[in-house]
A and B are shown apart, each in its own frame.
Chain A
Amino acid sequence: MSALSVTLAENNIDWHLPSRGRVGMYCLIAAEAAIFTIFVVAYVFYIGKSTSGPQPKDVLKAPIFYTICLLASSLTIHLAVRKMAAGNLAAFARWWLLTIVLGGTFLLGTAREWVNLIYRDGLTISTNLFGTTYYSLVGLHAFHVTVGLLALTVVAVFYFAGRLGQKHAERLEVLSMYWHFVDAVWVVVFTVVYVIGV
């Protein structure tokens, strides 16, 4: 006997399972959240413990405009995914490209801030404890924005190659979950670095 077959009497039972993409992405988000938690804890724990300058209040200025850009990109990606689900590809592309532009603007803001900090204020990752925790936390976030932007760009490339359609709406939604998470993390990072930390 090489195969017992295990079957139900009523074989066509109603059977629904959650989507793999969503569950997988939720798990990834949980793991990433744990990583960010450790970096945020380290940042908060080390506030005011630098033995030498520059101190946060001397050099940090809240990047309000760039923050608005990043938060707005959550809205635009949401609209893009909804347009895709509705089958409106042109509208999808507009919102999607706007998302990329907004995300790119945010990264540009981080880059400008870093250039100023390094060349004007003389703060690098090895200058003092503040520098170490600041560049690590903000850098980790910027890294995640970069990864997100790469993924968004890949989708855009597929769109222009004509390989993207309504059937991919769920995958795009999974990707947008990641983007929303990166935005949410920025809210925490912003609060910790530019509000509590100065």
Chain B
Amino acid sequence: MSTNTISISDFPAYRPVTLRLHDWVTTVDHKRLGILYILYSLFFLVIGGIEATIMRIQLIRPHNDFVSPEVFNRMFTMHGTTMIFFVAMPLVFGFANYLVPLMIGARDMAFPRLNAFSFWMTALGGVFLYFSFLGGDGLYGGGGAPDVGWFAYAPLTARTFSVGHSADFWVLSLLSSGIGSIGTAINIITTILCMRCPGMTLGKMPLLAWLNLTMGGLVVLAVSPLTAAQLMLLVDRYLGGHFFDTQAGGSAVIWMHFFWIFGHPEVYVLAIPAFAFASEIIPVFSRKAIFGYRVMVLATIAIGFISMSVWAHHMFTVGMSSGANMFFVLSTMAIAVPTGIKNFNWLATMWGGKIRFATPMLFCVAFLFQFLIGGLTGVTLAVAPFDWNLSNSYYLVAHFHYVIVGAILFATFGAFYYWFPKASGKMYNETLGKLHFWLFLIGFHLTFDFMHIPGLLGMPRRIYTYEPGRGWEIWNVIVTIGVFFQAAGILVFVFNLTWSYFRGQVAGNDPWDAWTLEWSTSSPPPEYNYAVVPAVRSRRPLWDLKHPEDPDWRYE
């Protein structure tokens, strides 16, 4: 044990539970806030998963009456809203919060109090959303949870069609979590630009920092329009405004534009951090430096830019001019180029490497395959005439779940296993990790591969039941069976991390023989991260340290 690091565990002074809880509630430490974000999103992952399960049980056979149509509408609205805003976003921010300062050698985020504020705003959003189950009734008795779909097209949200407060809770929930998101994004950008340790020029940052910088920029530019649209909806609902009121000359289509101006960059807000995980994990488990660092950075920025000009591909069926259709078809297809470049770069990183198939790497390999397939079905849907036939069918549902679950969630699971030893100081159980991987992989493919087929056969999304004899039955059965494999996988995952946290083997500082700064401090890192501010000369400072005879900075 060297002497210049003092870890919290060196002072095992007893603190009562109430005080420890108080520490967590009042914390401004980026690592604790990161963990709060992640625990919060895991909680909602279970809730959103239960909602998905309820829908799948309802759809397992024709004319099922497991839930009523009203409840079904609430389930798909709550499932979508929860998974995007209270699972995916907090996961993204949680990992960014935890990792970015450590990886750039900083003491904390640029604005620690803003960080805490942002987290609690996000948390408040989740409370708003779920309070709607109790408070949505309002005085009119017309409520319950929101049932307008996660993109809440006008005029469903008008007072006439959403009496009570269900839509109001939806608006407040997205408004407050949106403010939290913008706050955190500002914090992430500022941290990366202004808190890097000496020597870490922009070109020497870990790719994760670059990707999170792009993600932050997207959040600033994309979540703000959503906030604006929510303000307009509040004006409509509370002050009698007419923004989306077609009776008074307002437009329902402009809500769609405003929502998707947020909605499509949002996909990349979630995907880019997943790319970041893959870009850190794949090199370490292939024992090679990332292939084409500069091209990766450029491709990321290109994705960020292009993603802001593709939104109306969600609206081909609304009826736009052929010029607009053409533009959004081409821009959507163009985004496949930088994403394709990334895929090739990850493959080239693995090519010729000494690959270790530990759990994080397994998830990343699956991510590569599934992201490719999800991306390709995305290209098919980008073709407007194809989209006219299959938009809002289960083909579309299968496509975006392929990206969000198959790519983003898989890479995030990889990140969980990769950084769990750093955050907890304990090693997870590799056997259970692999069990989780295979259960989830089988469940994922059962559900989402086969979900394309009823979509191609004409099954629309958001129907609460269907007629027998359309050839949809067997596919729906398979899709629902897959859900239970995924749920089993999640249970194994939660059990593994919980059990390992208490009983796991001590991981040590650097269990993966990795190269980025966070592995140089103790596990878990002390509150101050680094006793001595690190200074770096290359993109892989720990490689330089471990291989003084052949350091990276000679070649970069």
Interface residues in B1-37 (C-beta closer than 8 Å to A): 1-2, 4-5, 7
Expressed in whole angstroms, the minimum distance between the Cβ of A4 and any Cβ of chain B is 4
Neighbouring A residues of B223 by C-beta, 8 Å: 31
State whether A3 and B531 are in contact (beta carbons under 8 Å apart), knowing that A27-B186, A38-B225, A51-B248 are contacts in the complex: yes
Expressed in whole angstroms, the minimum distance between the Cβ of B276 and any Cβ of chain A is 19
Q: Does B456 contact A (CB under 8 A)?
A: no
Q: Of the listed stretches A39-47, A95-103, A163-171, name the one at the interface; the rest are far from the partner chain.
A: A39-47
Q: Does B243 contact A (CB under 8 A)?
A: yes
Expressed in whole angstroms, the minimum distance between the Cβ of B300 and any Cβ of chain A is 18
Neighbouring A residues of B101 by C-beta, 8 Å: none
A4 touches B545 (CB 8 A): yes
Expressed in whole angstroms, the minimum distance between the Cβ of B29 and any Cβ of chain A is 18
Interface residues in B501-533 (C-beta closer than 8 Å to A): 508-510, 517, 520-522, 531-532
Give the nearest-CB partner of A3 in chain B.
B5
Expressed in whole angstroms, the minimum distance between the Cβ of B468 and any Cβ of chain A is 46
In Å, the complex CA distance between A132 and B187 comes to: 34
B4 touches A3 (CB 8 A): yes
Q: Does B196 contact A (CB under 8 A)?
A: yes
Q: Does A121 contact B (CB under 8 A)?
A: no
In Å, the complex CA distance between A18 and B231 comes to: 33
B193 touches A18 (CB 8 A): yes
Neighbouring B residues of A39 by C-beta, 8 Å: 228, 232
Q: Does B345 contact A (CB under 8 A)?
A: no
Q: Of the listed stretches B48-56, B126-134, B250-258, B479-487, name the one at the interface; the rest are far from the partner chain.
A: B250-258
A132 touches B225 (CB 8 A): no
In Å, the complex CA distance between A8 and B536 comes to: 6
State whether A23 and B190 are in contact (beta carbons under 8 Å apart), knowing that A1-B2, A2-B522 are contacts in the complex: yes
Q: Which 7 A-B pairs have the closest CB atoms?
A: A126-B240, A34-B224, A3-B5, A38-B228, A132-B241, A27-B186, A6-B534
State whether A4 and B520 are in contact (beta carbons under 8 Å apart), knowing that A32-B224, A42-B243, A45-B254 are contacts in the complex: yes
Neighbouring A residues of B190 by C-beta, 8 Å: 20, 23-24, 27
Expressed in whole angstroms, the minimum distance between the Cβ of A62 and any Cβ of chain B is 24
Neighbouring B residues of A13 by C-beta, 8 Å: 198-199, 535
Expressed in whole angstroms, the minimum distance between the Cβ of A29 and any Cβ of chain B is 10
Q: Does B82 contact A (CB under 8 A)?
A: no
Give the nearest-CB partner of B216 in chain A.
A27
Q: Does B189 contact A (CB under 8 A)?
A: yes
Expressed in whole angstroms, the minimum distance between the Cβ of A25 and any Cβ of chain B is 9
Neighbouring A residues of B508 by C-beta, 8 Å: 1
Expressed in whole angstroms, the minimum distance between the Cβ of B50 and any Cβ of chain A is 34
Q: Does A75 contact B (CB under 8 A)?
A: no
Neighbouring A residues of B535 by C-beta, 8 Å: 6-8, 11, 13
Residue pairs across A and B with Cβ atoms less than 8 A apart, 29 shown, are A3-B5, A4-B542, A5-B520, A6-B541, A6-B544, A13-B198, A18-B193, A23-B193, A24-B110, A24-B186, A31-B182, A31-B220, A35-B225, A36-B228, A37-B225, A45-B254, A46-B249, A46-B250, A49-B250, A50-B249, A51-B248, A125-B240, A125-B241, A126-B241, A129-B243, A132-B235, A132-B242, A132-B243, A136-B235
Expressed in whole angstroms, the minimum distance between the Cβ of B391 and any Cβ of chain A is 24
Expressed in whole angstroms, the minimum distance between the Cβ of A28 and any Cβ of chain B is 6
A1 touches B1 (CB 8 A): yes
Selected from B193, B222, B248, B542, the residue in CB contact (under 8 A) with A17 is B193
In Å, the complex CA distance between A20 and B5 comes to: 28
Neighbouring A residues of B235 by C-beta, 8 Å: 125, 132, 136
Expressed in whole angstroms, the minimum distance between the Cβ of A105 and any Cβ of chain B is 27
Interface residues in A130-188 (C-beta closer than 8 Å to B): 132-133, 136, 140
Expressed in whole angstroms, the minimum distance between the Cβ of B114 and any Cβ of chain A is 8
Selected from A8, A18, A133, the residue in CB contact (under 8 A) with B199 is A8
State whether A5 and B4 are in contact (beta carbons under 8 Å apart), knowing that A17-B195, A126-B241, A136-B235 are contacts in the complex: yes
In Å, the complex CA distance between A19 and B193 comes to: 9
Neighbouring A residues of B466 by C-beta, 8 Å: none
In Å, the complex CA distance between A114 and B47 comes to: 47
Which chain A residues have a beta carbon within 8 Å of chain B's beta carbons? 1-8, 11, 13, 15, 17-20, 23-24, 27-28, 30-32, 34-39, 42, 45-46, 49-52, 125-126, 128-129, 132-133, 136, 140
Q: Does B438 contact A (CB under 8 A)?
A: no
Expressed in whole angstroms, the minimum distance between the Cβ of A109 and any Cβ of chain B is 22
B545 touches A35 (CB 8 A): no
Neighbouring B residues of A18 by C-beta, 8 Å: 193-194
In Å, the complex CA distance between A136 and B229 comes to: 11
Neighbouring A residues of B186 by C-beta, 8 Å: 24, 27-28, 31
Q: How large is the interface on B (under 10, 10 to 19, 20 to 34, 35 or more residues)?
A: 35 or more
Neighbouring B residues of A128 by C-beta, 8 Å: 242, 248-249
Interface 1/0 per residue, B236-266 and A, CB below 8 Å: 1001111101001111001000100100000
A7 touches B254 (CB 8 A): no
Max count, chain B CB within 10 A of own CB: residue among A11, A13, A20: A20
Neighbouring B residues of A24 by C-beta, 8 Å: 110-111, 186-187, 190
State whether A27 and B189 are in contact (beta carbons under 8 Å apart), knowing that A35-B228, A37-B225 are contacts in the complex: yes
Q: Does B221 contact A (CB under 8 A)?
A: yes
Expressed in whole angstroms, the minimum distance between the Cβ of A93 and any Cβ of chain B is 28
In Å, the complex CA distance between A6 and B251 comes to: 59
B249 touches A136 (CB 8 A): no
Q: Does B157 contact A (CB under 8 A)?
A: no
Given contacts A18-B193, A30-B221, list 10 more A-B pairs with CB under 8 A.
A5-B531, A5-B534, A15-B198, A20-B194, A34-B228, A35-B225, A35-B227, A50-B248, A126-B242, A136-B243
Q: Does B185 contact A (CB under 8 A)?
A: yes
In Å, the complex CA distance between A77 and B186 comes to: 25
Neighbouring B residues of A45 by C-beta, 8 Å: 251, 254
In Å, the complex CA distance between A23 and B194 comes to: 8
In Å, the complex CA distance between A132 and B242 comes to: 6
In Å, the complex CA distance between A31 and B143 comes to: 33
Give the nearest-CB partner of A37 in chain B.
B225
Expressed in whole angstroms, the minimum distance between the Cβ of B506 and any Cβ of chain A is 11
Expressed in whole angstroms, the minimum distance between the Cβ of B440 and any Cβ of chain A is 34
A2 touches B195 (CB 8 A): no
